[in-house]
Amino acid sequence: MSYHPEHWDLHTSNGEELSIARGRFEFLCQRFGSRKFVDLSRSYHTNDGDKYVTTWTGTEPTLDTVVT
């Protein structure tokens, strides 16, 4: 069985994907007021894995600026 460590990504409104720390993801979940579990159901792999997502609601007070 292969093991894959936790990995946290941020997808910007410009279509970029950036790696972030788990703490940053947790902060964004709180700020956006959302956290959704996604069951990946990967029956083709011995290590199924799942993910969590949060999505910006589009309200300016919760905006989080990213500079690249």
pLDDT tens for residues 43-53?
666 666 678 89
The predicted pLDDT at position 13 comes to 87
Task: Please give the structure tokens belonging to residue 5.
Answer: 């460590």
Question: Structure pTM?
Answer: 0.76
Nearest CA among 52, 51, 31 for reference residue 42: 51
Q: Are 37 and 48 in contact (CB under 8 A)?
A: no
Higher-pLDDT residue of 3, 29: 29
**Distance of alpha carbon 30 from its chain centroid, rounded?**
13
Residue 28 in this model has a pLDDT that exceeds 90:
yes
